[in-house]
Amino acid sequence: MPRPTSDVQTFEAHAAEADLDDLRARLAAARLPEAETVRRAAPGRGRWGQGVPLADLVDLVNYWRTGYNWRSFEKRLNQIGQFRTTIDGLGIHFLHRRSARADATPLILTHGWPGSIAEFTDVVDELADPKDADAPAFHVVMPSLPGFGYSDKPATTGWGTEKIAAAWVELMERLGYSTFAAHGGDWGGNITTVLGGRFPARVLGIHTTFAEGPPGLTTDGLTAVEREWTEETHHFWHHRAAYAKQQATRPQTIGYSLVDSPVGLLAWILDKFAEWSDTEDSPFETMSRDRILDDVTLYWLTRTGASAARIYYESHNSLDPELRVDVPSAISIYPRDIEKCPRPWAQERYRRIVRWRSPERGGHFPSLEVPEYFVKDLREGLAAVLAIAGRR
């Protein structure tokens, strides 16, 4: 089995108790606004019409302060295996779970915003060492994006998705993986697309929940469902994407609030977990409070609210319109995701789609919302990809 190079060092997460005490003190002293003016008695998305409802936020803040256990998540990260390496002068943190199977395929999973490596901690074991001996197994690498989590914060501009994809290739090389498969959603899907398009000699194939066709395509020939997808995506970007405009143009300004106020950070992120998930009211219909707080607390303790937001400044609308992906690709479009690309549009960029799925349930965070289905879909998609690539 290939071994890591000496450029890779082990890493262990352990927040100072003083930082956890400071977090609880800030939560206890939080100044909150009055309740929203669209309050409704019955549960439903209308309750969230002005953002996170006050009552929901108060409940979660109280739990964060008195019931949530960060040390449990730290222990889980350390159990999986944490490492750091420096690429192009920037320290990159990653989780690495090797499979016990001799036939395992290297796989890099890339998260997005407002996610983190917390998206994958509940699915990595089953991907690496599946209970079903006939299921494919993977050596799973899960890096933290630059400016996220325990990766370093870039001190200069330039760390956009193209550079990140190149860094991922270098990371996998250092781990002894000359070829590998890739998966991602959100920014991770964008980076996975770049990996497949720019590095076909290294990438066996990709699986993504994010697909983006080249610009300028028309709706001619699309089915009614596909037209509806384009309308929903258009509505999202024109009416519900103020967060992206803010982070793409003024990440430093919003960053002060995200780094200084845990309640502000929580509300900024919770709003997306609620709006982008396949739920009728609260995100906790499908995701646990602990897992969402793992994600938010990771942002808080690493002070990465501003640095993570800068990925929008670096890469918003930057996917090369001429980029084509010729490696085998598996694409899954979840029904409540925020951006849904019709297959005819996707085929203009992804030239070898070997598997296309439109699941019945799930939103933007499938590894948290529908983890069992997510694992099954990822396995089956990558099995189709690897069969075409000549590797099982």
Instruction: Convert the pLDDT of each residue in 192-201 to its tens digit.
Output: 999 999 999 9
CA angle 22, 28, 32 (to 5 degrees): 120
Domain that holds residue 359: 9-27+43-389
| 300: in domain | yes
Alpha-carbon torsion (27, 301, 317, 315), positive or negative: positive
Q: How far is the C-alpha of 156 from the C-alpha of 314, rounded, in Å?
A: 11
Tracing tokens 């590894």 back to the chain, one arrives at 367
Residue 4 has pLDDT above 90, yes or no: no
Residues 209-221 pLDDT 10s: 999 999 999 999 9
The stretch 264-275 carries a mean pLDDT of: 98
SS3 180: strand
Q: Identify the bridge partners of residue 11 per DSSP, sorted by sequence position.
A: 82
Alpha carbon separation from 349 to 181, 192, 247, 315, 328 (Å, rounded):
18, 13, 27, 18, 12
**Structural domain total, the chain:** 1
**DSSP secondary-structure letter at 199?**
-
- Residue-wise pLDDT for 118-169, tens only, equals 999 999 999 999 999 999 999 999 999 999 999 999 999 999 999 999 999 9
Per-residue confidence at 62, pLDDT binned at 50, 70, 90?
A: very high
Check residue 392 and give its pLDDT: 42
Is 169 a member of any domain?
A: yes
For the purposes of burial, counting CB atoms within 10 Å of the CB of 24, is it exposed (0-12), middle (13-18) or buried (19 or more)? middle
Identify which of 338, 235, 325, 326 has the alpha carbon closest to the alpha carbon of residue 278.
338
What is the C-alpha separation between 332 and 327, in angstroms, rounded? 16
Across the range 99-111, mean pLDDT stands at 97
Which residues are registered as beta bridge partners of 350? 325
Q: Sheet holding 90-97: strands in order across?
A: 9-11, 82-87, 90-97, 138-143, 105-110, 180-184, 203-208, 329-332, 353-357
DSSP alpha helix (H) spans, 187-223: 187-198
Residue 89, C-beta contacts closer than 8 angstroms, at least 6 positions apart:
none
d(CA 107, CA 317): 26
Identify whether 351 is part of a domain: yes
The domain that holds 93 is classified in CATH as: 3.40.50.1820
In a domain, residue 1? The reply is: no
